[in-house]
C-alpha cells in the first residue's frame, strides 16, 4: 500500500484540504499519515480523514524516511519556515528523505520559485492527485 505523509503547520488548512481530496479520490487504497508541526495542524488533517497522525519535530524526522511520498507546501523544506514552527532538523529530514516530494509552490516564506505560474490551491491539489496516479 502506498504510504503518503502530508506535512503542514500553523492551522493545518492546506494539509487538511490535501488529505480530504486524496481520501475522496483514493478511498482506502492509500495510507495517509498526517504530520503536523503543531497539534492544531495534525488535528485538522485527522478530521479530514488521515489514517494516522503525529505531531512535532521528532515525529516528522522519524516518519520522513518511512513513507513513499511527502506532500506539503514548499516551506516544509525551508528551515525556520511557518513562523519558526518548521525547524532546521525537520527541513533537513524532509529534504534528505528518499520519498518523492510533491511541494506546493505557495509564496508564504518570501521564497519565489521562478518558472512556476501561480494557480489557485484547488488546481494545485488536482495536480497532486494526477501525480500520485502516475506513480
CATH of the domain at 93: 3.40.50
Q: Per the structure, how many domains does the chain have?
A: 1
Question: Containing H/E element for 96?
Answer: helix 88-96
Q: Which domain holds residue 84?
A: 2-134
Cross-strand pairs, 69: 4, 100
Which residues fall within 8 angstroms of residue 40, CB to CB, at 6 or more apart? Answer: 10, 11, 12
Cell of 134: 502516475
Distance, in Å, from the CA atom of 51 to the CA atom of 45, rounded to the nearest integer, reads: 9
Q: How many residues belong to the chain?
A: 135
Output the tens digit of pLDDT for each of the chain's 135 residues.
999 999 999 999 999 999 999 999 999 999 999 999 999 999 999 999 999 999 999 999 999 999 999 999 999 999 999 999 999 999 999 999 999 999 999 866 678 888 888 899 999 999 999 999 998
Amino acid at each position: 500500500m502506498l504510504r503518503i505523509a502530508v506535512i503542514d503547520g500553523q492551522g493545518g488548512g492546506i494539509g487538511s484540504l490535501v488529505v480530504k481530496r486524496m481520501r475522496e479520490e483514493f478511498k482506502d487504497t492509500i495510507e495517509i499519515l498526517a504530520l503536523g508541526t503543531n497539534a492544531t495542524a495534525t488535528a485538522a488533517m485527522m478530521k479530514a480523514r488521515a489514517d494516522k497522525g503525529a505531531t512535532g519535530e521528532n515525529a516528522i524526522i522519524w516518519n520522513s524516511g518511512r513513507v513513499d511520498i511527502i506532500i506539503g507546501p514548499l516551506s516544509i523544506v525551508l528551515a525556520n519556515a511557518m513562523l519558526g514552527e518548521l525547524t532546521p532538523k525537520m527541513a533537513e529530514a524532509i529534504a534528505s528523505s528518499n520519498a518523492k516530494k510533491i511541494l506546493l509552490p505557495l509564496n508564504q516564506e518570501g521564497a519565489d520559485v521562478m518558472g512556476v505560474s501561480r494557480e489557485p490551491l484547488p488546481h494545485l491539489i488536482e495536480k497532486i492527485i494526477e501525480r500520485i496516479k502516475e506513480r
